[in-house]
Amino acid sequence: MSDFFITGTDTDSGKTYVTCALLRDLRRRGVKAAGFKPVACGDRGDARAMREAMGEPTLGLDLLNPVYLRAATAPAVAAELESRELSVHEWVESYKRVSGLYESVLVEGAGGWETPLATGKTIADLAQQLALPVILVVGNKLGAVNHAILTVQAIRLRGLECRSIVLNHMAEEWDAASVMNRKLIEEYTGVPVQAELIRDQQEIDSGAVLGI
């Protein structure tokens, strides 16, 4: 199987929601899959949700989430507030430990693609070090097309493949933008939207999204 990096167009685009849906479907298919949240800021709810989706509620959180910072802000800022030095190399090593235990690992970033991660480093630097195919979660709202185009361009500039896009409808009602965004995103990025989730939808086709 393969590992993947899950990123979003911005904070609260639905990365954890999509990651957990993918984990549940992979497990349903019999794949021993795990989520990996390199850094969590504010709380560890994302890592707990991943652990639940994996069906391993007693698994130690430190394996899935090696760095937890108290302030609900960008990791680089939260680390500075705690006088901590964060290392991309240490995250890569933590990822390798998880990858050695599972058939497929979904690495979920923090915030958007260029969210400050450590001194002089962003989430994109970690993704580049891991060199995994990227799944982009797009919050379907006004402005989503612009955010998607810019993020896909940035992913490619790092020499990485944007494998697919998941369009996440966060509002209960659809407006003109949310109806047309899928067509425009596919047209302008050249990346297929392999899943379009309506609000509170729990099911997703991991085979289509991940290509495995």
- The tokens describing 74, both together, are 């960008």
**Both tokens of residue 50?**
């991943």
* Distance separating the N- and C-terminal Cα atoms of the chain: 7
Please name the residues in contact with 203: beta carbons below 8 A apart, sequence gap of 6 or more.
21, 25
Task: Give the whole-angstrom CA distance, residue 125 versus residue 21.
Answer: 26
Active-site residue numbers?
Answer: 37
Question: What CA–CA distance (Å, rounded) separates 200 from 202?
Answer: 6
Coarse DSSP helix, strand, coil percentages of the chain, rounded to the nearest 5 percent:
40, 25, 35
